[in-house]
């Protein structure tokens, strides 16, 4: 008997083979009531389970019933977390088979509330907490991780959790949730995923005062102390998990750009908030062209919010527009930003952060978004400010006056932070808006037409990018890979999606989408000499064969 090869794990490594109660307590191997009579006899399970043997389909139905009886989203999140901690195969089968119902529960918007309540709902640790007090011992702590050879790490320092701000150690819900999506949406085996929270303190005073806060109750470390901590962390990851791909997640923007820049070539890593968001938004813009009829190079984008997400999207748009023949300067001049101080322009009088400088064009001062829309006549309005109710009726109506099909993307998460709702976007534009949001909105009926909003969320991008980089064993995740991911995603939008006004594929297609993106990313790695593996003849088939499929193996 070999539990590992049966589970398809042998491609990666050989975990241990427990029996009896130890087997039931191992969520990666546990089948619960689905252990067969033969397995119960062979593995010392007889008597530890009630006699009736269930199929996984029956277990899914039973779990679904229990889940749906929970009174609210956070109770459902707690139920799903407990299931994940008990039986990962069943958890992923449930999530994969009911992806549209489950993703909003295990990710945005519910994960936002789950982070806020992480301390009070904390039952069993998942992932590693490494605090600034652990300096000098980080490699040792990484070696405490019970699985050998982590291949995929998502790490946060909790400073900018969704649009909710600094949640310190409570941010752990995000790496846990993102890694669940890697498995559910792209079939990365859960054994090789490792969520990490770096606790450097928090500037959220409420947490300092909370007697039950789970993290360090002190101000955030900054400057040299912070940089030295991160440098030690990166060195430790390289030495303990040399094959790992690392995703920087929900760092504050003063650190996010620097860390990406400083480490992307030293450690195979990317920043999802900057690069993943960029690719998903660009894919939406490319797909929208099939409804508006224009070319990408002729679009004018106006962003609300000039942070990681906004400037990331603009940078990737520039790369795509250059492929259509624009110079870098011309492409940049198609992107404009409004931040909390008004339109970002060259002589605004304040010291602009470095990431804004390429988009600080020569233009008179414009204090508000409404005036900026009026002055610039954009074709697309992209909300990445984390500030709700900022796409007002006046602004959306003006976009609809300027464009036959205005593109309105309210990408801020969670739902409570979206710049406008789907209903508002459609109602205020006479149903002409091409709308997408970061968190899901229900379809909207307006004057007899059903509008289905797209979910412009990086869930469409990062699982496939990560899978492609992992399987090809790429040394780096390049900007070109994100561009390829965006183009692939846009191609996968079907005519029937567009007919409903949706510029993203249905979430039910997510595993095929991730496979397509992983193929494009792996092909880029092979073509650019970044892959440590030789290119297999059938790249898609090779990746498909390595995707974790939540089915029980036979252990006897
Ligand atoms: P960030 O902190 O780097 O940037 C936020 C920017 O918004 C800053 O430039 C800030 O000045 C500006 N801003 C804040 N309030 C504003 C206001 N009232 N008017 C104008 N500008 C304002 O954060 P980020 O990483 O860029 O994320 C921003 C938002 O985008 C968050 O809500 C996040 O959840 C969302 N986001 C969504 C996705 C997705 O997949 N849909 C991905 C990443 C980020």
pTM score, two decimals? 0.93
**Residue 145 DSSP class:** S
Residues with CB under 6 A from ligand 1: 160, 162-163, 253, 273, 277, 280, 304-310, 338-340, 384-387, 390, 411-413, 417, 438, 456-458
**Whose Cα sits closest to atom 2 in ligand 1?**
307
- If you take atom 41 of ligand 1, which residue's CA is the nearest one? 438
What phi-psi label fits residue 530: left (phi over 0), alpha (psi between -120 and 50 degrees) or beta? alpha
Residue pair 413/441 in contact (Cβ under 8 Å)? The answer is: no
Nearest atom of ligand 1 to the alpha carbon of 280: 40
pLDDT tens per residue, range 416-438: 999 999 999 999 999 999 999 99
**Residues 310-327 pLDDT 10s:** 999 999 999 999 999 999
pLDDT (0 to 100) of residue 349: 84
Task: Report residue 380: phi and psi, to 5°.
Answer: -140, 140
What are the tens digits of pLDDT across the range 199-251? 999 999 999 999 999 999 999 999 999 999 999 999 999 999 999 999 999 99
Long-range CB contact pairs, 295-299, < 8 A, 24+: 295/324, 296/320, 296/321, 296/324, 297/321, 297/324, 297/325, 297/326, 297/331, 297/334, 298/379, 299/334, 299/379, 299/380
Mean pLDDT of 397-403: 98
Residue 12 pLDDT greater than 50, yes or no: no
Segment 96-116 shows an average pLDDT of: 94
| Ligand 1 nearest-atom number relative to CA 250 | 25
User: What pLDDT does residue 442 have?
Assistant: 96
Band (pLDDT 50/70/90 cuts) for residue 506 is: very high
Q: Which atom of ligand 1 is nearest to the CA of 411?
A: 41
Give the pair of three-digit tokens for residue 476. 């780096």
458 CA to centre of ligand 1 in angstroms: 14
Q: How far is the CA of 383 from the centre of ligand 1 (A)?
A: 8
Ligand 1 pocket mutation pick from 103, 277, 307 by most atoms within 8 angstroms of CB: 307
451 C-alpha vs ligand 1 centroid, how far in Å?
26
Mean pLDDT score of the chain:
94
CB-neighbour burial class of residue 232 (10 A; exposed 0-12, middle 13-18, buried 19+): middle
Alpha carbons 247 and 149: distance in angstroms, whole number: 16
Q: With H, G, I as helix, E, B as strand and everything else as coil, classify residue 116.
A: helix
Position 10 confidence tier, pLDDT thresholds 50, 70, 90:
very low
Nearest CA-CA partner of 234 in 272, 267, 260: 267
pLDDT confidence band for 403 (50 / 70 / 90): very high
- From atom 3 of ligand 1, which residue's Cα is the shortest distance away? 307
Q: Report the separation in Å between the CA atom of 343 and the middle of ligand 1, taken as the mean of its atom positions.
A: 15
431-472 pLDDT tens trace = 999 999 999 999 999 999 999 999 999 999 999 999 999 999
- Indicate the pLDDT class of residue 8, thresholds 50, 70 and 90: very low
Distance 474 CA to ligand 1 centre (A): 30
Instruction: Say how many residues make up the chain.
Output: 556
- Give, for ligand 1, the residue of 112, 278, 309, 420 to mutate: max count of ligand atoms closer than 8 Å to Cβ: 309
Which ligand 1 atom lies nearest to the CA of residue 256? 3
* Rounded-to-10 torsion of CA 286, 288, 293, 296: -30
Span from the CA of 130 to the centroid of ligand 1 (angstroms) = 27
Q: Whose CA is nearest to atom 14 of ligand 1?
A: 385
Residues with active-site annotation: 107, 178
pLDDT tens for each residue of 138-154: 999 999 999 888 999 99
Strand, coil or helix: 226:
helix
pLDDT higher than threshold 70 for residue 513:
yes
Which ligand 1 atom is at minimum distance from the Cα of 459? 40
3 state SS of 203: coil
pLDDT of 55 reads: 98
Distance CA 304, CA 389 (A): 12
Residue pLDDT, tens place only, 264-304: 999 999 999 999 999 999 999 999 999 999 999 999 999 99
User: Residue 13: which pLDDT band, with cuts at 50, 70 and 90?
Assistant: very low
Q: Is the pLDDT of residue 186 over 50?
A: yes
CA-angle at 78, arms to 76 and 79, nearest 5°: 65
Token digits of residue 538: 């059938």
State both tokens at 266: 């030293």
Give residue-wise pLDDT tens across range 32-70: 999 999 999 999 999 999 999 999 999 999 999 999 999
- Tokens encoding 184: 């559910």
> Residue 415 burial by CB count (10 A; 0-12/13-18/19+): exposed, middle or buried?
buried
Give the whole-number percent of the chain exceeding pLDDT 70: 97
Mean pLDDT of 506-535: 97
Whether 273 and 178 have beta carbons less than 8 Å apart is answered as no
- Atom from ligand 1 closest to the CA of residue 305: 7
User: What is each CA distance from 34 to 30, 67, 102, 286, in whole angstroms?
Assistant: 9, 19, 22, 46
pLDDT of residue 49: 98
Rg (C-alpha) for the chain, rounded Å, is 24
**pLDDT-based confidence at residue 7 (cuts at 50, 70, 90):** very low
Residue 158 has pLDDT above 70, yes or no: yes
Atom 23 (ligand 1) nearest CA: 307
Instruction: Identify which of 389, 400, 391, 356 has the alpha carbon closest to the alpha carbon of residue 370.
Output: 391
Statement: residue 11 has pLDDT above 50: no
Ligand 1 pocket test, pick from 255, 386, 392 with the greatest ligand atom count within 8 Å of Cβ, gives 386
* Residue 462: predicted pLDDT: 98
* Residue 125 confidence class, pLDDT cut points 50, 70, 90: confident
Q: Are 29 and 23 in contact (CB under 8 A)?
A: yes
pLDDT at 17: 75
Alpha carbon of 47 to ligand 1 centroid (Å): 54
- Diameter of the chain measured on Cα atoms: 79
- The least confident of 2-11, 28-37, 184-193 is 2-11
d(CA 311, ligand 1 centre) in Å: 10
Atom index in ligand 1 nearest the CA of residue 383 equals 30
Residues in CB range of 122: below 8 A, 6 or more apart = 214
- Token pair of 479 as six digits: 């900007």
Closest CA to 246 of 186, 298, 179, 189: 179
- Nearest-CA residue for atom 17 of ligand 1: 340
Distance of CA 386 from the midpoint of ligand 1 (Å): 4
CA atoms 311, 314, 315, 316: torsion sign: positive
> What number of other Cβ atoms are within 10 A of residue 552's Cβ?
22
pLDDT > 70? residue 342: yes
The pLDDT of residue 63:
98
Choose which residue among 259, 285, 385, 461 to substitute to test ligand 1 binding: the one with the highest number of ligand atoms within 8 A of its C-beta.
385
Complete DSSP assignment for 464-521: HHHHHHHHHTBS---HHHHHHHHHHHHHT--HHHHHTT--S--GGGHHHHHHHHHHHH
The residue whose CA is least distant from atom 42 of ligand 1 is: 277
């Amino acid at each position: 008997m070999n539990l590992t090869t049966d589970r398809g794990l042998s491609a990666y490594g050989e975990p241990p083979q427990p029996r009896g109660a130890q087997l039931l307590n191992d969520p990666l191997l546990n089948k619960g009531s689905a252990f067969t009579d033969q397995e119960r006899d062979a593995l010392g399970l007889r008597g530890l389970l009630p006699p009736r043997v269930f199929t996984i389909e029956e277990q899914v139905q039973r779990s679904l019933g229990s889940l749906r009886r929970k009174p609210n989203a956070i109770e459902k999140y707690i139920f799903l977390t407990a299931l994940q901690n008990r039986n990962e195969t069943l958890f992923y089968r449930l999530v994969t088979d009911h992806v549209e119902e489950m993703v909003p529960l295990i990710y945005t918007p519910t994960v936002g509330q789950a982070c806020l309540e992480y301390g009070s709902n904390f039952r069993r640790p998942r992932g590693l907490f490494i605090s600034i007090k652990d300096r000098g011992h980080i490699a040792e702590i990484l070696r405490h991780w019970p699985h050998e050879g982590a291949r995929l790490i998502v790490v946060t320092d909790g400073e900018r959790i969704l649009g909710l701000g600094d949640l310190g150690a409570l941010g752990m819900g995000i790496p846990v949730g993102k890694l669940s999506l890697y498995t559910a949406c792209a079939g990365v085996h859960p054994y090789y995923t490792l969520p990490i929270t770096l606790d450097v303190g928090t500037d959220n005073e409420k947490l300092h005062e909370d007697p039950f806060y789970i993290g360090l109750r002190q101000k955030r470390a900054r400057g040299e102390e912070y940089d030295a901590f991160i440098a030690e962390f990166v060195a430790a990851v390289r030495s303990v998990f040399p094959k790992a791909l690392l995703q920087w997640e929900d760092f504050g923007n003063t650190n996010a750009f620097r860390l990406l820049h400083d480490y992307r070539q030293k450690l195979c890593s990317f920043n999802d908030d900057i690069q993943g968001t960029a690719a998903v938004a660009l894919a939406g813009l490319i797909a929208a062209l099939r409804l508006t009829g224009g070319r990408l190079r002729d679009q004018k984008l106006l962003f609300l919010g000039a942070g990681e997400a906004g400037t990331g999207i603009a940078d990737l748009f520039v790369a795509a527009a250059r492929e259509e023949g624009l110079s870098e300067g011309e492409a940049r001049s198609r992107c404009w930003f409004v931040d909390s101080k008004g339109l970002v322009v060259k002589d605004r009088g304040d010291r602009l952060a470095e990431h804004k400088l390429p988009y600080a064009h020569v233009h008179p001062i414009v204090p508000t978004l409404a005036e900026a829309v009026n002055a610039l006549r954009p074709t697309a309005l992209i909300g990445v400010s984390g500030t709700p109710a900022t796409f007002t009726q006046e602004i959306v109506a003006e976009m609809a006056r300027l464009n036959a099909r205005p593109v309105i993307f309210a990408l801020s998460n969670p739902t409570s932070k979206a710049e406008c709702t789907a209903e508002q976007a459609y109602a205020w534009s006479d149903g002409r808006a091409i709308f997408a949001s970061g968190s899901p909105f229900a379809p909207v009926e307006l004057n007899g037409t059903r509008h289905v909003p797209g979910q412009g969320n990086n869930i469409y991008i990062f699982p496939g990018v990560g899978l492609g980089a992992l399987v090809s064993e790429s040394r780096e995740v390049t900007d070109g890979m994100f561009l390829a991911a965006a183009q692939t995603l846009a191609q996968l939008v079907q005519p029937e999606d567009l007919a409903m006004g949706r510029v993203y594929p249905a979430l039910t297609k997510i595993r095929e989408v991730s496979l397509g993106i992983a193929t494009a990313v792996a092909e880029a790695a092979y073509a650019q000499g970044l892959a440590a593996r030789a290119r297999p003849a059938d790249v898609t088939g090779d990746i498909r064969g390595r995707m974790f499929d939540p089915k029980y193996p036979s252990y006897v």
